[in-house]
Structure 1
């Protein structure tokens, strides 16, 4: 059994953007925190939905037909197979993602980021 996890302390341990950190596992899924700034690339996930929960900052999730803007405490799930691009236009965003264990943070044309333990 794990001890409680301080997300604030976990965020203080790294500064890299678009490089998720695993903070816990839940039923085989990774609970990850990530700092983002600027634009990611347009991409899809064929085998999984993409879960975004904004903790600090404002994040746009661009879809081909609309943009969903998330403020702190708001979440959005991009269904599998839907092309999207996360964008942090107004400075750094801190967020929490849930992904199947072992999933790499990959977008077409972007570097692969294997998540690491926070």
Structure 2
């Protein structure tokens, strides 16, 4: 394996809400995603979800509050917590998740990704 340049990897895709796998370790996956607009309310029953903002500002709506993340900040959504990411402008994020996680939790939607493409 060689060094991964995150900025170069972000140049390889343009679609939103479609994470791309850039690495795996210890049953976890490292994903990059571009987000814009609103996602759907969902939760992950057995997995925490890590969001690190590389570029832009991301809001993660929870039922009781909204978390606002700026560049260089991260938030871990605890397992079982309903959440809805929202990006008014394009945001670049790094996600760190178990290999078993489902993109939209138990909800199947038009935006659900079942197998992440590796780049």
Give the total of aligned pairs: 116
1:81 Cα deviation from its structure 2 partner: 0.5
Q: Point out where structure 2 has 5 or more consecutive residues left out of the alignment.
A: none
* Residue 95 (structure 1) aligns with: 93
**1:102–1:46 CA distance, 2 compared to 1 (3 A):** closer
The residue aligned with 1:45 is: 44
CA–CA distance in structure 2, aligned partners of residues 109 and 85 of structure 1:
15
Structure 1 stretches (4+) deviating beyond 4 angstroms? none
Counterpart contact for 2:55–2:91, Cα < 8 Å: yes
Residue equivalent to 1:115 = 116
User: Equivalences for 1:1-118 in 2 at 5 Å?
Assistant: 2-89=1-88, 91-107=89-105, 108-110=107-109, 111-113=111-113, 114-118=115-119
- 1:103 deviation in Å? 2.9
TM-score by length of 2: 0.92
Question: CA RMSD of the aligned region, Å?
Answer: 1.2
